[in-house]
């Protein structure tokens, strides 16, 4: 996929990472400096202390303390004769529900480069590599590197395959080193051996952008936003479409309201390796590690996915589980066989396979846990388990044949196929009400009897919202969108 969706932008309070983007779609070098000012230089000890003082953690999922990563790279470099180190920016969002790093690299790439080059200068790193997966993001970063002139020559931009597992640390580094972009399955610390075999500071796009902001503000000013225990702002991707910068501690329902949505049937936090919050928990949640920890959830890479009332939870979950099975790295049995088998039995349960089908889902989940070469099988199994716990009645009703009567609207985003989507008519249900042509006259034609003239109609991308409206309005539930 060369270019995915471009996110909308929003903020709660005064923006930091997204500053200036209310006046320009993209901050070039000149506009960037006008908004943020020059970047100070930092001694390694100063930068480590700064990261400690603002309690900066990785924003790519695991939340590992950034200062500890820097100290580990420095220690590893001391143990080498050449003392060489490297810096890697992970901008490969293989998670279709997350667009925050894409937003930064498309709209504010110099802030990310500032943070990476600041860290590289402190470490004495010879090379900075920025790994991306989208063509439009690659172009934006390359333009930013060129805008820096000679200072940008030490930055290498690499485009890697767009897959869910590309962002895993060992997969990313192996891809940058010219190998297969696959998890190694080994406990290899990039701080010891990473890019070109050198001790490498690897973190995600937002982390480096936060470092650049903190270096300009200083620890005390940086801590004026957010919670005392979790200072600063956080980037969230809401409903797979809007990137919001918010201080930590903000009410989660308020962020959803800002994006024109609400908790609905529940909220998936942390993306497709994350956890479902029921509506009551979601309404009580704050955007903070501590708040989500009490609910058994993690913010991860910042994906927040509310599930609308008019879509089928069981069908949505089965659809994502099938896609996750297809994202296997192909290196171990739990991924190659276990995840497709889990998707199969989940589909069977959703289609009315009975209590035995639900039991088979539980068995398949247990069979992949703790056995994968990477975390993908465990994460996918946890996603399904969380859904079963959050929507027990939905899955039971589907398994026993009654279902919920709602269509699967694709509220949980997945990458779009290169082939166009189609509006499909189920002739066993269609009663010729004709409402579809009222909503979508550019796509639907009626025959002489008042029924759609075609069973399958191409939906141009710009008409997808209207097609979804037609699906929702059909009284007979006879329409669906097929990718």
Sign of CA dihedral 205, 208, 212, 213: positive
For residues 391 and 384, the answer to whether their CB atoms sit within 8 Å is no
Pairing type for strands 200-204 and 86-91 reads: parallel
446 forms beta bridges with 452
Question: d(Cα 198, Cα 200) in Å, to the nearest integer?
Answer: 6
Tokens of 88: 């890697």
Q: At what angle do helices 392-399 and 355-368 cross, to 10 degrees?
A: 120
Q: Which CATH number fits domain 25-222: 3.30.1280.10, 3.40.920.10, 3.40.50.11540, 3.40.50.150?
A: 3.40.50.11540
Pairing, β 303-306 against β 233-238? parallel
Contact status, residue 377 vs residue 369, Cβ threshold 8 Å: yes
pTM score = 0.84
Assign a CATH topology to domain 421-482. Alpha-Beta Plaits (3.30.70)
Say what angle helices 109-123 and 100-107 make with each other, to 10 degrees. Answer: 90
The phi and psi torsions of 238 (rounded to 5 degrees) equal -100, 125
Number of H helices, E strands in the chain: 20, 13
CA distance 271 to 96: 9
Query: Would you tell me how many other CB atoms lie within 10 Å of the CB of residue 358?
Result: 21
CB atoms within 10 A of CB 290: 12
> Which pLDDT score, from 0 to 100, does residue 418 have?
47
d(CA 146, CA 159): 17
- The pairing of beta strand 127-132 with beta strand 86-91: parallel
CB 146 within 8 A of CB 180: no
CB atoms within 10 A of CB 280: 10
Other CB atoms within a 10 A radius of the CB of residue 216 amount to 17
* Token pair belonging to 163: 């897959």
Distance CA 452, CA 445 (A): 6
User: What's the CA gap between 90 and 103, in Å, rounded?
Assistant: 14
SS3 of 326-377: HCCCCCCHHHHHHHHHHHHHHHHHHCCCCHHHHHHHHHHHHHHCCCCCCCHH
d(CA 413, CA 239): 8
- Residue 422, φ and ψ in degrees, nearest 5: -130, 150
CATH topology of domain 313-399: de novo design (two linked rop proteins) (1.20.1440)
The two beta strands, 155-159 and 127-132, are parallel
Question: What pLDDT does residue 462 have?
Answer: 66
User: Taking a C-beta distance cutoff of 8 angstroms, is the pair 27, 35 a contact?
Assistant: yes
Tokens of 12: 């709660």
Residue 79: exposed, middle, or buried by beta-carbon count in 10 A (0-12, 13-18, 19+)?
Answer: exposed
Q: Give the number of other CB atoms < 10 A from CB of residue 197.
A: 13
Tokens coding 39: 């970047």
Average pLDDT per 10 consecutive residues for the chain, totaling 483 residues: 76 96 95 96 91 91 87 89 90 90 97 96 92 95 95 91 85 90 78 91 96 97 96 96 96 95 95 94 95 93 94 94 85 84 93 93 91 85 95 94 86 73 87 91 86 84 79 90 77
Rounded distance between C-alpha atoms, residue 119 and residue 44, angstroms: 8
Compute CA 195 distance to the chain's CA centroid, rounded to the nearest angstrom.
24
């Amino acid at each position: 996929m060369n270019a995915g969706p471009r996110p909308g932008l929003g903020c709660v309070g005064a923006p930091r990472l997204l500053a200036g983007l209310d006046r320009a779609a993209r901050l070039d070098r000149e506009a960037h400096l006008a908004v943020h000012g020059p970047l100070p230089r930092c001694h390694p000890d100063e930068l480590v202390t700064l990261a400690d003082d603002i309690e900066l953690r990785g924003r790519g999922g695991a939340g590992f303390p950034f200062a500890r990563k820097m100290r580990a790279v420095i220690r590893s470099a001391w143990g080498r004769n050449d003392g060489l180190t490297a810096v890697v920016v992970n901008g490969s969002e293989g998670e279709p529900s997350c667009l925050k790093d894409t937003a930064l690299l498309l709209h504010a790439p110099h802030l990310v480069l500032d943070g990476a080059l600041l860290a590289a200068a402190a470490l004495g790193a010879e090379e900075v590599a920025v790994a991306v997966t989208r063509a439009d993001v690659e172009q934006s970063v390359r333009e930013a590197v060129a805008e820096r002139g000679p200072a940008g020559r030490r930055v290498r931009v690499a485009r890697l395959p767009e897959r869910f597992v590309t962002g895993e640390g060992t997969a990313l580094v192996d891809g940058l080193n010219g190998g297969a972009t696959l998890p190694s399955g080994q406990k290899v610390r990039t701080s010891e051996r990473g890019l070109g075999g050198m001790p490498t500071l690897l973190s995600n796009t937002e982390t480096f952008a936060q470092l650049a902001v903190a270096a300009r503000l200083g620890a005390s000013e940086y801590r004026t936003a957010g919670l005392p225990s979790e200072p600063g702002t956080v980037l969230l991707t809401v409903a797979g479409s809007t990137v919001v910068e918010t201080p930590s501690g903000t009410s989660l329902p308020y962020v959803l309201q800002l994006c024109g949505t609400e908790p609905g049937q529940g909220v998936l936090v942390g993306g497709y390796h994350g956890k479902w919050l029921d509506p009551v928990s979601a309404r009580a949640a704050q955007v903070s590690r501590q708040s989500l920890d009490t609910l058994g959830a993690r913010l991860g890479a910042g994906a927040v996915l509310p599930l609308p009332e008019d879509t089928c939870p069981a069908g949505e979950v089965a659809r994502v589980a099938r896609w996750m099975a297809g994202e296997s790295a192909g290196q171990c049995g739990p991924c190659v066989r276990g995840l497709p088998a889990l998707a199969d039995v989940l589909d069977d349960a959703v289609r009315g396979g009975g209590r035995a089908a639900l039991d088979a889902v539980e068995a398949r989940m247990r069979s992949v846990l703790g056995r994968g070469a990477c975390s993908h099988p465990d994460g996918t199994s946890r996603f399904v388990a969380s859904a079963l716990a959050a929507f027990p009645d939905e899955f039971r009703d589907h398994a026993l044949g009654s279902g919920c009567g709602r269509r699967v609207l694709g509220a949980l985003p997945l990458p779009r196929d290169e082939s166009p989507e189609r509006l499909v008519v189920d002739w066993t249900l269609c009663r010729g009400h004709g409402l579809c042509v009222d909503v979508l006259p550019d796509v639907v034609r009626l025959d002489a009897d008042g029924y759609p003239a075609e069973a399958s109609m191409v939906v141009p991308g710009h008409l997808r919202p209207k097609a979804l409206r037609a699906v929702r309005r059909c009284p007979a539930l006879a329409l669906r969108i097929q990718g």
